[in-house]
Structure 1
Amino acid sequence: MLNSSWIPALVTGSALLLGLGTASAAPSPGSDGIGDPLYPQDGNGGYRVSHYDVKLDYDPAKPDFLVGDTTVDAVATQDLSQFDLDLEGFTVDSVTVDGVPAAVRRAPKHELVITPGQPLARGKRFAVRVRYSGRPGVAWSTASDQGAVHVFGEPHTASGWYPVNDHPSDKATFHVAVTVPDAGWSVLANGAPETPIVRNGKKTFGWTENRPVASYLTGLVIDKFTVRTSKLADGTPVVDAYAPGAESAEPFGRRLPEVMDFLVSKFGPYPFSSVGGIFYPGDSGGGFELQQRPVYPGGIAAKDFTTIVHELAHQWYGNSVSVRSWRDVCLKECFATYTEWLWNEAKEGHDLDAEYRQKVAAAKADPEFWQSPLADPGKELYGGSYTVGPLMLHALRRTIGDAAFFRVLKDWPREHRYGNAAFTDFEQLARRNSGQDLRGFFQAWAYSTTIPSDQYLYPGTLRG
């Protein structure tokens, strides 16, 4: 079973991150890491964030320089004498807590250590404003010699462009406003767009994500886009953007309503207020599931349409329901990959049982195929999420039957909507919905480092 020993450490080390227990006798520093079993220094303890307001000023003629002004609204989860934010790069120009100047120092490699003028009592809501400028962190990636920028990816990107509690367990609402020269540049980001403001030869683009978002799912792309707007049949706004060189992907972007209808039929109501896609040129780098607005290389979309299916499936599996720790990554990648299988079954007539048997036959000759447990992949992070993961889910489907399996697919995003969950939560849901004892199944598929026995490898129609 999943070793959950990190959770007590999380509660203690992050000074009651989850708001449980009693306050300490005297104010003390929040921890400089949240205690994730794979990335223990990710995130910080002593507080929970409720909202980020990120303001950026960027000139594409100076691609290595960025001016930022970010306010972080949070609540203390202990009597707090000091706390950290994650920020890579930059010169920090000033920090205030509730408008009062605070002491600040940098600590390797990404910690911004802040000491407020007065300790913060447990339960106090406070606002930290950080003004910074200079060279961004490594996540800030110029995409062309004209200064276009792509900022997205996982597990560590957010701290490269704004101060953040950088762990998916601390989700918050998000607003970003980016000012660029008024010379054909556009900015695409999470959530719903605001009307751009033009002033003194510059243009400010604002985007609001009004549902909690994990920090790694925030991002932005700055380029000279062709932007297409439309609506789904239910009125949900669609914003698609095509960077120069990616225009050939437009026919695939126009199929988004078809994909959304399919996903809603499998997972239930779409959890967010808008949807769309950002297409950049080339066929390298893969897609990425920015919340409400996935990013795709135009070339990959053209030759492998299921990339769009995969990244949109993440809006339910990974975005609305986010991982509790990074070792739960199967909860997003296994499911998004299996959704590609479901699409091919429904739209392309694929025989999934036959494809499953072929993949298992090939994998039997490769012992390394099974060596990364899905429920605890270790430093490999993704392990077998893209390979073993969809096999596990198809075997589960044949074990518990279609009725229970597809009920699980809808119940999961409904029960954990806008929150976080662990692999053990999924096991419990599958057992509850199927009425079966699945401990042996999950031990064989999710925790073992060897191929499952035939009992679990060929259930139901897979025996044929």
Structure 2
Amino acid sequence: MPACRKHHSRTTAVVTTLAASVVLTTLPASATSGAADPYYPDDGNSGYDVTQYDVHVTYDPAHPRHLEGDTTVEAVATQDLTQFHLDLEGFEVTSVTVDGTPAASVSREGAHELVVTPARPLTRNAHFAVRVRYSGEPVGEGWHTLADGGANVSGEPHSATAWYPADDHPSDKATLRLTATVPTGWTVVGNGRPGATTTDQGTTTFRWYEDRPMATYLSTIAIDKFTVRTSALSDGTPVINAYSPGATIDPKNEALLPKVIDFLASKFGPYPFSSAGAIVITNDDGSGPFSLETQSRPTYHWGFFDTSMVHENAHQWFGNNVSFSDWRDGCLAECFAQYAVQLWYEKDGDDLDQNFYRSMLEESAADPDFWKTKLYDPGQGRELDNALYSKGSMMLHALRRTVGDDAFFGTLKRWQREHRYGNASWPQFEALIEKVSGKDLTGFFAAWVQGTTAPEKAYLYPGSLGALDPADGTPGSPR
């Protein structure tokens, strides 16, 4: 079964108040608003590239409707800028500085645009730092309050702007430093590796650093009275697992995680990050995704097991290491993560032709809804449609049988090398596997990826899958 996740478009404007120390102005729509994503045109911003987020937050679970934030966004201007935008939902913004100087003006636009006019224009290629101080109730869709007052941030396609200002689009990846202060007795877990933990007058400050570029929706913070257990991968990479009270702690599954990552590395190339592990939360209100591939440390609900581990950790390569160019490219993450589960079964002797592919055909042959969603550019609001998991994993198996194992897995590893820590698009993947395999795959991709009905037999039964083609049109052979 596919991993469960929440995703919503932003449709409701959030009314916020800026403190008197910030100059309010009414500004026209900025040319630097939005990263030109066809599904979420207001997400992200043009005009600069973020290199690092330095996020400081203070949170007291006794007051779950209040967060204090102080975030510095380090970036490089890609054009001359008299004004730029950040994405932030809610909060009272109390001050904004650019390179230490108070901004000339700050305003809010739409549901999540923070518009900043620096005191002095920024020139192209200039490195700059914008510091935003803010406080109030987190209202973004990624913020989830846990049963005992703790909190977790996770969600796709939006979550980061529920707790820090960002260039909120997967095409602008950056490293992230997290410094979080909570009452002593509570624990904070984030992406990457932990830093120093300090205690002062009843509060404890935790530090985390993700040293590899990360799409904003993959960033996370989790605050709870965690049980933290550590181990290591076979190469010594630290594994940090954090469990909320009531979560299932299964030592067998913990011991399986390094084996899962080693297996995936054998198929996709070296594990791309400097830490691994899991965040296991418990929440009775049903909010939040059951699991999400938060970078280096996936988030799970109540517990994790082999197939959930495989799916979410496959994303560390497909979606996290190599991220979308825009939200039309969801297959680059979900199709591969779901097919990785089939590869996990195959290693133990499962016949994927018979037990996966044929079985899926028999279930879907007479169901036009199964085939109707395109795998690339499925449409706004369907960027994470179930078709990417089901039809998408079938497509990859048919592609593998079309080009052969050497070309298929060779392409997957080359994809990871060539786009390491960056972004890429589905059309680029099509071009790469055609190059590696030496085959013209135009018809295959037109049928499977762009098609809205069952592929014709030449593409439905390629290679060894031809043995599954029933000559009499019995179930398993769409007519």
What is the TM-score normalised by the length of structure 1? 0.91
Q: Does structure 1 residue 265 correspond to structure 2 residue 269?
A: no
Following superposition, the deviation at residue 247 of structure 1 comes to 3.3
* Residues 187 and 56 of structure 1, relative CA distance in 2, 3 Å threshold: same
Instruction: Classify the secondary structure of the residue corresponding to 1:448.
Output: coil
Amino-acid identity (%): 56
Following superposition, the deviation at residue 286 of structure 1 comes to 2.0
Aligned letter for 1:286?
F
Aligned letter for 2:409?
F
Distance 2:282 2:253 in 1: 14
Following superposition, the deviation at residue 298 of structure 1 comes to 2.9
Aligned to 2:231: 230
Instruction: Classify the secondary structure of the residue corresponding to 1:369.
Output: helix
- Determine if contact 1:29/1:46 at 8 Å carries over to the other structure: no
Following superposition, the deviation at residue 282 of structure 1 comes to 6.6
Following superposition, the deviation at residue 29 of structure 1 comes to 4.8
Residue number among 180, 190, 198 corresponding to 2:182 in the alignment? 180
Aligned letter for 1:135?
E
Q: Does structure 1 residue 133 correspond to structure 2 residue 135?
A: yes
Aligned letter for 1:352?
L
Instruction: Classify the secondary structure of the residue corresponding to 1:136.
Output: coil
Distance 1:389 1:431 in 2: 18
- Determine if contact 1:30/1:80 at 8 Å carries over to the other structure: no
Q: Does structure 1 residue 382 correspond to structure 2 residue 384?
A: yes
- The C-alpha deviation readout for 1:87-120, integer Å capped at 9, x for no partner, is 0010000000011111111112100011111111
Instruction: Classify the secondary structure of the residue corresponding to 1:54.
Output: strand
Aligned to 1:251: 252
Aligned letter for 2:258?
P
Distance 2:430 2:403 in 1: 12
- Determine if contact 2:132/2:165 at 8 Å carries over to the other structure: yes
Distance 2:159 2:64 in 1: 17
Aligned to 2:204: 203
- Determine if contact 2:146/2:283 at 8 Å carries over to the other structure: no
- Aligned pairs (5 A) from 1:321-332: 321-332=322-333
Aligned letter for 2:426?
F
Aligned to 2:336: 335
- Aligned pairs (5 A) from 1:107-146: 107-138=109-140, 139-144=142-147, 146=148
Aligned letter for 1:37?
P
Residue number among 254, 279, 297 corresponding to 2:301 in the alignment? 297
Q: Does structure 1 residue 438 correspond to structure 2 residue 416?
A: no
Distance 1:295 1:396 in 2: 30
Distance 1:87 1:163 in 2: 5
Distance 1:334 1:293 in 2: 20
Instruction: Classify the secondary structure of the residue corresponding to 2:343.
Output: helix
Aligned to 2:43: 42
Structure 2: give runs of 5+ residues left out of the alignment.
1-28, 468-479
* Structure with the largest fraction of helix: 1
Distance 2:111 2:30 in 1: 18
- Aligned pairs (5 A) from 1:210-229: 210-229=211-230
Distance 1:353 1:247 in 2: 34
Following superposition, the deviation at residue 402 of structure 1 comes to 1.1
- The C-alpha deviation readout for 1:108-153, integer Å capped at 9, x for no partner, is 2100011111111111111000000011122221011x21111011
Aligned letter for 1:296?
Y
* Residues 282 and 353 of structure 1, relative CA distance in 2, 3 Å threshold: farther
Distance 1:140 1:262 in 2: 33
Distance 1:30 1:209 in 2: 31
Aligned letter for 1:271?
P
Distance 2:394 2:234 in 1: 34
Instruction: Classify the secondary structure of the residue corresponding to 1:80.
Output: coil
Residue number among 157, 160, 164 corresponding to 1:158 in the alignment? 160
Distance 1:440 1:124 in 2: 46
Following superposition, the deviation at residue 58 of structure 1 comes to 0.3
334-343 or 360-369, which deviates more: 360-369
Distance 2:198 2:31 in 1: 39
Please list every run of at least 4 consecutive aligned residues from structure 1 whose deviation after the TM superposition is greater than 4 angstroms: none
- Determine if contact 2:199/2:205 at 8 Å carries over to the other structure: yes
Distance 2:124 2:262 in 1: 45
- Determine if contact 1:242/1:250 at 8 Å carries over to the other structure: no
- Determine if contact 1:289/1:311 at 8 Å carries over to the other structure: yes
Distance 1:442 1:88 in 2: 39
Aligned to 2:292: 288
Distance 2:465 2:283 in 1: 39
Following superposition, the deviation at residue 448 of structure 1 comes to 1.2
- Determine if contact 2:328/2:377 at 8 Å carries over to the other structure: yes
Distance 2:143 2:219 in 1: 13
Distance 1:194 1:100 in 2: 29
Distance 2:31 2:128 in 1: 15
Residue number among 397, 404, 408 corresponding to 1:401 in the alignment? 404
Distance 1:69 1:365 in 2: 55
Aligned letter for 2:417?
R
Q: CA RMSD, aligned part only?
A: 1.4
Aligned letter for 2:160?
A
Aligned letter for 1:121?
T
Distance 2:264 2:451 in 1: 31
Distance 1:282 1:29 in 2: 40
Aligned to 1:413: 416
The number of equivalent residue pairs is: 431
- Determine if contact 2:160/2:168 at 8 Å carries over to the other structure: yes
Aligned to 2:98: 97
Distance 1:75 1:404 in 2: 38
Instruction: Classify the secondary structure of the residue corresponding to 1:113.
Output: strand
Following superposition, the deviation at residue 425 of structure 1 comes to 0.9
- Determine if contact 1:246/1:282 at 8 Å carries over to the other structure: no
Following superposition, the deviation at residue 449 of structure 1 comes to 1.1
Q: Does structure 1 residue 456 correspond to structure 2 residue 459?
A: yes
Following superposition, the deviation at residue 254 of structure 1 comes to 2.4
Aligned letter for 2:49?
R
Distance 1:93 1:48 in 2: 24
Aligned letter for 1:218?
S
- Aligned pairs (5 A) from 1:352-367: 352-354=352-354, 355-367=356-368
Instruction: Classify the secondary structure of the residue corresponding to 2:260.
Output: helix
Instruction: Classify the secondary structure of the residue corresponding to 2:120.
Output: coil
Aligned to 2:68: 67
Aligned to 2:308: 307
Q: Does structure 1 residue 171 correspond to structure 2 residue 173?
A: yes
What is the TM-score normalised by the length of structure 2? 0.88
